[in-house]
Amino acid sequence: MITSDTRHTTGTLVIKSVVALIAALLLFAPFLFQDVRSLEVAARICIFIVLVASFDLLIGYTGIVSFAHTMFFGFGAYGAAILLKQMGPGWTPVLLGALAGVAVSLVFAVAIGLLSLRVKAIFFAMITLAAASVVLVLASQLSQITGGEDGIIYKSPDLFKTATKLLTDADGKVVRLWDVKLNGKLAAYYFVFITSLILFLAMLRFVGSPFGTVLKAIRENEARAEAIGYRVVAYRTAVFCLSATIASLAGTVYAVWLKYTGPDTALSFSIMIDILLMVVIGGMGTMWGAVIGAVLLILAQYYLRDLMGAASEALTGVPLLPELLAPDRWLFWLGIIFILLVYFFPRGIAGTMMTGRKGA
């Protein structure tokens, strides 16, 4: 007989195996997928896993709905971008930018947290939305500092230049490993991969700690958590600060990888919507869900168009289908896929499979 428990155990095993496979693919991505676009997708996946997981600390583990997550991501990105532009390429501006981003994020997180985490969830969500909107407008308006709508283009540290040779042979040529040049681009990818991995593992450890257990208890019932001795506002503020710090660091890493920071790449609400979709698809309250959600949505965003174009071509001559599968309709199909995922996995893919329960 298949019980909820066996589904739970099997589902957990499947999800963890899939995540291990994704981790392996990301680890060897430069060697497995040797084109620029694929490497761009892999790096984006790494960063968004961290960003989504840090958002899940709020919405999934603590039950806090915030729309300010891209604001913190933007602080980290702009911190590094402004200093790299002002000071030139090097590690000092990256480190100082990361610190500045984290410091500003903490100031905002503490202020928003202490002032508004006592109020009802909907008011808190509105306050974060207002704060994020103000920062987005400011970033667009303060063009002397932020580059305005055009953003900032800068150089990343020399180690990450494509021309940088990590290893050279006797002739002074860059060494190739499995036909991949060991150059600065590879170093930049592994900088993204390793920092993302460290941040993700830190979050994984955090949610498994007693502090993480308290957060889950608060999510389930605030009054009960208070009744066993936990100051809910203090815990919620602390996790809001932690989440903001990690989002800010993810922003810094993204800025170093992209060598461009602007409102569209660091602060826009479309990023916030992507994060929300990734959390919902992957499953709230599980770090593994962030991995699944980020991978699926980013792959869909980058490759669904191509896939539909190929399908449309293959079905030439069949009535209606080529038009339905025209690449321009990719957002429509993405919406259909999203609705189906929510229908069949109401707690998200990882959430549904790992708990063995469909209902909330």
Partner 1 sequence: MSLLSIRNMKTDIGQYAVLHDISFEVPEGGVFVLLGRNGAGKTTTLRSIMGLWTPSPGSVQFRGEDISALHTAEIARKGIAYVPENMGIFGTLTVDENLILATSNGRFDPARLARIHALFPALERFRDKQAWSLSGGQKQMLSVARAIIEPRALILIDEPTKGLAPAIVDAMAEAFREIAQTTTILLVEQNFAFAKSLGRDMAVIDDGRVAHTGTMADFVADTTLQHRLLSLSL
Residues that bind partner 1 (CB under 8 A): 4-5, 209-210, 213-214, 216-217, 220-221, 223-232, 285
Q: What is the DSSP letter of 297?
A: H
Helix axis angle, 287-314 to 330-344, nearest 10°: 140
Rounded Cα–Cα distance for residues 140 and 104 (Å): 18
Scan for tokens 């919902």, then name that residue: 280
Residue 194, C-beta contacts closer than 8 angstroms, at least 6 positions apart? none
Given 3-state DSSP classes, what are the helix, strand and coil percentages for the chain, each rounded to the nearest 5? Answer: 75, 5, 20
In the bound state with partner 1, the residue whose beta carbon lies nearer, of 1 and 36, is 1
In the bound state with partner 1, the residue whose beta carbon lies nearer, of 170 and 360, is 360
Quote the least distance from Cβ 219 to partner 1, whole Å: 8
Quote the least distance from Cβ 287 to partner 1, whole Å: 15
Quote the least distance from Cβ 56 to partner 1, whole Å: 15
In the bound state with partner 1, the residue whose beta carbon lies nearer, of 210 and 319, is 210
CA-closest candidate to residue 47, choices 307, 291, 286, 357: 291
Quote the least distance from Cβ 217 to partner 1, whole Å: 5
In the bound state with partner 1, the residue whose beta carbon lies nearer, of 86 and 213, is 213
- Cα angle: 326, vertex 341, 319; to 5 degrees: 25
Give one DSSP letter per residue of 84-145, joined into a string.
Answer: HHHH-SSHHHHHHHHHHHHHHHHHHHHHHHHHHTTS-HHHHHHHHHHHHHHHHHHHHH-HHH
In the bound state with partner 1, the residue whose beta carbon lies nearer, of 86 and 209, is 209
Scan for tokens 């339905």, then name that residue: 324
In the bound state with partner 1, the residue whose beta carbon lies nearer, of 168 and 221, is 221
Quote the least distance from Cβ 231 to partner 1, whole Å: 5
Rounded Cα–Cα distance for residues 277 and 113 (Å): 24
Quote the least distance from Cβ 313 to partner 1, whole Å: 48
Rounded Cα–Cα distance for residues 257 and 309 (Å): 29
In the bound state with partner 1, the residue whose beta carbon lies nearer, of 149 and 226, is 226
Quote the least distance from Cβ 120 to partner 1, whole Å: 16
Quote the least distance from Cβ 119 to partner 1, whole Å: 17
Rounded Cα–Cα distance for residues 236 and 65 (Å): 11
83: tokens are 């200093």
141: tokens are 């308006």
In the bound state with partner 1, the residue whose beta carbon lies nearer, of 4 and 92, is 4
In the bound state with partner 1, the residue whose beta carbon lies nearer, of 23 and 204, is 204
97: tokens are 């930018």
Quote the least distance from Cβ 350 to partner 1, whole Å: 14
